[in-house]
Amino acid sequence: MQTADSGAARRPLVIANPSAGRGRTGRDLSHLVSALRDALGELDIVTTAGAGQATDLAAAAAGERRPLVISLGGDGTLHEVVNGLMQVRGPLPDAPRETASVPSLGLLATGTGGDFGRALGIAHRMEDYLAAVAGGHERAVDVGLARFTGTDGRPRERYWINVLSAGIGGLVDRYAATAPAVVGGRVAYAQAALRGIVMCRRVRLRCRMVLPDGGAGERLLYSHAVAICNGTTFGGGMRIAPMARPDDGLLEVIAFETHSRWRLVGRFLTVYAGTHTSEPGVHHFTCRALRLEPLGPPPRPPRSCVFPLDVDGEALGDVPLDVSLIEHALNIRAPLTPRS
């Protein structure tokens, strides 16, 4: 792993994951960095070689008071960078000035998904990402905080910025990661989603929530999948929550409660168009925070998960799950006028 010059704290820092996009990022890295330097001037570049390094590097950049940290990689790289910046900022809505002064976030999505950029109005093209980073326009966005059960059975806590899903989503992560390198991102996610539909079971859940007006609410769900959304798309362009806005302090929740897997396949096909929320068996509601917990006995072996989680594209754990939202937690470089 390369390290940045400690005396250059005022320069932007690029955190690059060469393995993103099935290795394409590493192959194109010199060209991408050259384009960034043409757009921004002097900057530093560090590369990651393993899980968690982007989080450490982003936290260090925040400690150095870098003006800008750019995530160059896939959804997992962005997820780690957000967690590093939020480690310094902290979860309190009104963070003290010294902890709130974290770097702005830039995004160059080179992975198979590239979904959060769409919520910001950035098309999934490198020239559009470069224009957004170089334009200097900043937008304060919300960041989610999830507390859940890790794969080792211990309590875990992670920040997230786009979509957290449970059920099919947690399986999709595992299956998409094993897709052949020659398969494109959308195709990889589509085949993984279909495989996840076949393998995922329907689970009874209690959802306790804080409503938009601050009151309390509760729903009983019997679902194959529940998506909790700050952004609009996931899975390489699936329009899971077209109504979501990443800066309104609200979570958009989509629950798939169809009775059969065949109907679920049909609902899945409408997600790309974003018309699924009007289909029978798909329910949408809005809240500010929620707790999702399973009802009934735990699964017997060989099942190791009740309702596996996908946290910004990362397979990280299981329910019970608590989700809250930190409003306007990070400033991110985005177009001045978002695309509709």
CATH of region 144-327, choose from 2.120.10.30, 2.60.200.40, 3.40.50.360, 3.40.50.300:
2.60.200.40
| Beta strand spans in 97-168 (E) | 104-109, 138-150, 155-160, 163-167
- CATH tag, 13-111: 3.40.50.10330
Q: Determine the pLDDT at residue 212.
A: 98
13 forms beta bridges with: 44, 69
Give the integer Cα–Cα distance in Å for 183 and 112. Answer: 10
- 279 CB-near residues (< 8 Å, 6+ apart): 266, 267, 270
Q: What is the dihedral of CA 206, 208, 209, 214, to 10 degrees?
A: 150
Rounded to the nearest angstrom, the gap between the alpha carbon of residue 50 and the centroid of all alpha carbons in its chain is 19
Contact by Cβ (8 Å): 36, 108: yes
Nearest by Cα to 44 from 70, 26, 20, 63: 70
Q: Name the token pair of 98.
A: 């010294």
The pLDDT of residue 3: 45
Residue for token pair 């991110």: 332
Domain boundaries, the chain: 13-111, 144-327
| Cross-strand bridge partners of residue 157 | 147
Distance CA 305, CA 166 (A): 11
Half-sphere exposure of 83 (CA within 13 A, CB side): 21
Any alpha helices (H) in 101-237, and if so which ranges? 116-119, 126-135, 168-177, 185-199
Q: What is the model's pLDDT at position 136?
A: 85
- Computed from CA positions of residues 238, 243, 248, 250, in that sequence, does the dihedral angle turn out positive or negative? negative
CA distance linking residue 9 with residue 17, whole number of Å: 21
What is the reported pLDDT for 181? 56
DSSP E strand boundaries for the chain = 13-16, 44-47, 68-73, 104-109, 138-150, 155-160, 163-167, 203-210, 216-223, 225-229, 251-256, 282-287, 289-294, 309-311, 314-333
Cα separation, 256 vs 263, whole angstroms: 10
Question: What backbone phi and psi angles, to 5 degrees, belong to 192?
Answer: -70, -40
Name the DSSP letter for residue 200.
Answer: P
How far apart, in whole angstroms, are the C-alpha atoms of residue 256 and residue 93? Answer: 31
Q: Are 61 and 69 in contact (CB under 8 A)?
A: yes
Q: What are the phi and psi torsion angles at 99 (to 5°)?
A: -95, -20
13 in Cβ contact with 81 (< 8 Å): no
pTM of the predicted structure, to 2 decimals: 0.89
Q: Output the pLDDT for position 314.
A: 86
DSSP annotation of 165: E
**Which pLDDT tens digits describe the chain residue by residue (340 residues)?**
444 444 556 899 999 999 988 788 889 999 999 999 999 999 999 999 999 999 999 999 999 999 999 999 999 999 999 999 999 987 776 655 444 579 999 999 997 778 999 999 999 899 999 999 999 899 999 999 999 999 888 999 999 999 999 988 766 666 666 655 545 556 666 677 677 666 678 899 999 999 999 999 999 999 989 999 999 998 778 899 999 999 999 999 999 998 777 777 777 778 888 999 888 899 999 999 999 999 976 655 445 678 889 899 888 899 999 999 999 999 999 998 655 4
Residue 303, pLDDT score: 52
Q: Which amino acid is at 153?
A: G
